Amino acid sequence: MTLAQRAGPVQGAGAPSGARARLVLLGCISHNAVLHSRASGMLLFTLGINHKTAPVAIRERVSFAPDRVGEALRDLVNNAGVEEALILSTCNRTEVYCEAPKADVNDAVDWFGRYHSLGRDEVGPYLYTHNGRSTVQHLLRVASGLDSMVLGEPQILGQVKDAYRRATQAGTIGRVLGRLFQHTFAVAKQVRTDTAIGASPVSVAFAAVRLAQQIFTDLGAQSALLIGAGETIELAGRHLRQQGIGRVIVANRTVENALRLAGELGGYAIGLPDLGRHLPEADIVVASTASPTTILDRATVEQAVRARRRRPMLMIDLAVPRDIEPGVAELEDVYLYTVDDLEAVIEENRRSRQEAAAEAEDIIDTEVSHFMGWLHAQSAVPSICEYRTIAEGMRDEVLAKAQRMLARGADPAETVLFLARTLTNKLAHGPCVQLRRAGFEGRQDLLDAGREILGLTPPEPQD
| DSSP code, position 459 | P
Candidates 91, 98, 385, 432; catalytic one: 91
Q: Is 174 left (phi over 0), alpha (psi -120 to 50) or beta?
A: beta
Half-sphere exposure of residue 122: CA atoms within 13 angstroms, side-chain side: 13
- What phi and psi, each to the nearest 5 degrees, are found at residue 86? -145, 140
- How far is residue 11 from each of residues 207, 383, 392, measured CA to CA in Å? 65, 11, 11
Is-contact 129 45, C-beta < 8 A? yes
Residues 6+ apart with CB under 8 A from 189: none
Sheet with 93-99, side-by-side order of all strands = 84-89, 93-99, 44-50, 128-131
Beta-sheet strands, E only, within 151-304:
223-227, 247-252, 268-271, 284-287
Closest CA to 127 of 172, 61, 80, 44: 61
Beta-sheet strands, E only, within 18-83:
44-50
Beta strands at 93-99 and 128-131: parallel, antiparallel or unpaired: unpaired
Among positive and negative, which fits the CA dihedral 152, 169, 61, 132? Answer: positive
Q: Is 10 left (phi over 0), alpha (psi -120 to 50) or beta?
A: beta
Distance CA 404, CA 410 (A): 9
- What phi and psi, each to the nearest 5 degrees, are found at residue 85? -155, 150
Q: Is 91 marked active-site?
A: yes
Amino acid type, 177: L
Query: Catalytic residue positions?
Result: 91
